[in-house]
Amino acid sequence: MADVLAAAESELALGRPENALELLSRHLLPDSMGEGAPLAVYAASQYAVGAFLEAGNVFDLAANHASGLRRGTLRARAARSFERGGVMGTAAELYRQAALDFPDAAGWMALREAAIIRDETRAIELLQLVPDAGRELAATVWASWLQKAGDEWGASEVLADVGRFAAAGVLARSVGEDERARELIYRAVAVREREQALRGVEAALAESPPASVGEHTAVASAILRYGRAVDAVTHSAAAVVASDSAIASLLFHGEVTERSGNRWGALRIYQNAAAREGEEAAEAGYRAARTYVRLGQRTRAIQTLGAFLDEYPDHSRAPAAMFLLGDIRQDQRRVRAADSIFKILNEKWPGDRFASDARSRFGARALARGDLEESIAVFRTEVEQNGARSLAAQYQIARLSRDLGDTATALEEWTTLARRDSIGYYGTMARLAAGLPDPAFAPKPTPVPSVDVQRELAVLDLLQAAELDDEPAALIRHLSDPDHWEVSELMDVAEGLIARGQARFAVGIGWRIAGLHSLNDPRVLRIIFPWPHRDLLEREAAEFKLDPFLLVALVRQESAFDADATSRAGARGMMQLMPATARGLARQLHVDWNSTFLGVADANVHLGAAHLAQMLRQYNDEVVLALAAYNAGGSRVRRWMRYPEAQAGDWFLFTERIPFRETRGYVQTLLRNRELYRALYGKSIDP
């Protein structure tokens, strides 16, 4: 029975509940029920195929074979099944029974019951029992009761009190409170939270179409953040009209237009704004010049950059304009002109980030012509200025000192950098170059969570198992709030979330703990860099002959171990595979393809590990190239392989030269994370 049960669970996890039902139907015997486990899997399979009433009955039967918290969880699953099946009376009774079996979850069960019963007085009593973590959801339930009673205005104010501004605005509009509705809807549009903002946009367009400059700008900004930039252009253009072509609106419209991919259109907008006067007109002039650069119009770019610098020599954008001008001259192989421009930039604005970029160019130029001492001097200036690229500069000083035979200086610089940037990319590279030992992290402790944390995590288990819609996320948000816990308890919460498949939330908590406590605490680092699914990742790494530390570093970066992660481009799962790529990999591996596999951890990692191994073979096991291709695509990497740094096998300099900031940072982050995972979870530490 154990083998049958394991097979059925696998089929269910792979999105094939029909197969699980068939397996269990043939082997489900009364004397093999145990604590109701086979029945629970059978019921979960029925639930997955939409047979909610049948699932409810079987979950209830499974609960009769269980005890304690397990019975409460199964009762909650039964209740949710009957609720989905429309049998609200039975669902309410089962929620009440679940509360008796699992008292710590009684407030959440009261919330579910209040949402489905018909007795308003009883609903009011139940909502008083809901814990603070469910306050927003309780308000939503109470608002629905008010709506049933015909009090839309009261429901609107209840929703507004808990920040559900879009829904509140729609209700206010329904009772003729147009001014209040508009206020609430545009508050929703401005919220820095994706779902709420997009609901606000939807409500604005349907209920209160933008009429003012601020409203058009707010809608365009929200779409720009969370939607498609091309859809924001209409509203940024309307903002221009509403403002009578004010420069600020033109600048915003130009930005939206450029981000939508229409650079020529953006250029015309910037030129229009630049024809005015004042500080904003100067900004428009710079943006027009920058757009010429992005369009590859070098002659016009040089003219407009020169005109900008002549007219606004002390503008805040002047260092950027100077660097762009030097960059163009360098691309044209007018080296002396480029050096002259970079020199002026370095002298006039030594602390600016573009001066750091200029010094990097100077150092690289000196290195290219074999003048190692001059290159060291340039990089030394960057370190002394503590510029934006000072860590890279210090690494270069050590490398060049070594090449000149000064191994003592090289070791000193690398050692200093390893201390200065102890868990950063350049510090990690310095430690490896100098042969320094890995950071010494204490073995992973096995702390016992506080009683309060254990209680809340047990409740989370029930809410997740019952497949409730909003309650698990509400509780996780509550648990993630540092104001609710001592630092040690917050660590308990984060570790508990990792164990429950919620590593993405735990990583965010870990960064907050680092700010409150210390980033260098090994326990904090293992929260920020967790390793759930370790057995799975090590097994797949072994099968495809991959470094397991590289594989886990990649999964963390791609999805933070979220099996349900989906990117805007459509990449899915833990290793963020595009469906077409995954389908091709499945065919190569002789795996029967099913699109649901992308959301299953085991299947996604299996295909993703094969993909990474394939890329490593393609690039002769050169990790930098394989990672760059994983992020940016093979065609770009083939183009970059023509760089002299690639021809020389200097992968540090090659990485520095990757033109896409995202890809460069991606490669650097994964190389750092690989070594950090090695230090945190080495062989001396138990999984």
Q: What is the DSSP letter of 593?
A: P
CATH assignment at residue 638: 1.10.530.10
Domain annotation covers residue 101:
yes
Per the residue annotation, which of 283, 471, 558, 645 is the catalytic one?
Answer: 558
Last residue of a domain, one of 86, 110, 130: 130
Classify residue 502: in a domain, yes or no.
yes
pLDDT (mean) for 166-193: 95
What gap in Å lies between CA 226 and CA 191, rounded to an integer?
11
Residues 32, 12 within the same domain: yes
The pLDDT of residue 31: 52
Question: Does 2 reside within a domain?
Answer: yes
Range of the domain at 55: 1-130
Q: Are residues 58 and 1 in the same domain?
A: yes
- Shared-domain flag, residues 3 and 20: yes
> CA–CA distance from 108 to each of 55, 88, 95, 480, 570 (Å)?
21, 17, 9, 18, 34
- 541 and 672 in a single domain? The answer is yes
Question: Is residue 303 one of the residues assigned to a domain?
Answer: no
Q: Predicted confidence band at 365 (pLDDT cuts at 50, 70, 90)?
A: confident
Distance from C-alpha of 539 to C-alpha of 534, rounded to nearest angstrom: 8
Q: How many helices (H) and strands (E) does the chain have?
A: 40, 0
CA 546 remoteness from chain centre: 25
Mean pLDDT for the stretch of residues 126-149? 96
125 phi and psi angles, rounded to 5 deg = -60, -45
Residues 492 and 578 occupy one common structural domain: no
pLDDT band with cut points at 50, 70 and 90 for residue 98: very high
pLDDT for res 38? 85
pLDDT band at 687 (very low <50, low <70, confident <90, very high): very low
Same domain, 514 and 598: no
Q: What is the pLDDT of residues 642-660, one digit of tens each?
A: 998 999 999 999 999 999 9
* Residues in contact with 410: Cβ distance below 8 Å, sequence separation at least 6, in sequence order: 398, 399, 401, 402, 434
Any idea what the CATH number is for the domain that residue 80 is in? 1.25.40.10
Q: How far apart are CA 556 and CA 642, in angstroms?
A: 30
**What integer pLDDT is reported at residue 434 of this predicted model?**
95
Domain final position from 130, 164, 182: 130
CA 563-568-569 angle, to 5 degrees, is: 95
Residues 28, 63 within the same domain = yes
Percent of the chain with pLDDT over 90: 84
Res 524: pLDDT: 95
Does the active-site annotation cover 22?
no
pLDDT tens, 470-524?
A: 999 999 999 999 998 999 999 999 999 999 999 999 999 999 999 998 888 999 9
**What is the pLDDT, as a whole number, of residue 460?**
96
Distances (CA, A) of 476 to 51, 472, 473, 480, 503: 29, 6, 5, 6, 11
If asked whether residues 585 and 604 sit together in one domain, one would say yes
3-state class percentages of the chain: helix first, strand second, coil last, to nearest 5? 75, 0, 25
Decide if pLDDT at 684 tops 60.
no
Supply the DSSP symbol for 529.
S
State the DSSP H helix or E strand holding residue 659, giving kind and residue range, or none if neither: none
pLDDT tens for each residue of 265-317: 999 999 999 999 888 999 999 999 999 999 999 999 999 999 999 999 999 99
Burial class of residue 201 (count of CB atoms within 10 Å of its CB; 0-12, 13-18, 19+):
buried
* Residue 205 is assigned to a structural domain of this protein: no
What phi, psi does 70 have (nearest 5°)? Answer: -60, -40
Question: CA nearest 99: which of 58, 130, 143, 145?
Answer: 130
pLDDT of residue 366: 87
Rounded (10°) CA dihedral 390, 376, 673, 511: -10
- Domain's final residue, options 498, 528, 558: 528
Residue 445, pLDDT score: 76
3-state secondary structure of 572: strand
Confidence band of 686 (pLDDT split at 50, 70, 90): very low
What does the pLDDT read at residue 25?
Answer: 86
The predicted model gives 551-561 an average pLDDT of: 97
% the chain with pLDDT above 70: 98
The pLDDT, as a whole number, for residue 557 is 96
SS (H, E, C) 259-295: HCCCHHHHHHHHHHHHCCCCHHHHHHHHHHHHHHHHC
Q: Using 50, 70 and 90 to split pLDDT, how confident is the model at 685? A: very low
AA letter at 172: A
- Residues 488, 560: one domain? no
Look at residue 610 and tell me whether its pLDDT is greater than 60: yes
Q: Assess whether 469 and 553 both reside in one domain.
A: no
Evaluate whether 312 touches 334 at the Cβ level (below 8 Å): no
* Domains identified in the chain, total number: 3
- Is 227 within the bounds of a domain? no
Least confident window among 66-80, 87-101, 281-295, 432-446 = 432-446
Same domain for 631 and 595: yes
Tell me, yes or no, whether 501 lies in a domain. Answer: yes
Share the mean pLDDT of the chain.
93
pLDDT beyond 70 at 674: yes
Q: What is the pLDDT of residues 17-70, one digit of tens each?
A: 999 999 988 876 555 555 567 889 999 999 999 999 999 999 999 999 888 889
| Upper half-sphere CA count for residue 356 (Cβ side, 13 Å) | 16
Q: Residue 429 falls within a domain, yes or no?
A: no
Q: What is the pLDDT of residue 33?
A: 55
Q: How much is the pLDDT for 518? A: 87
- Same domain, yes or no, for 614 and 573? yes
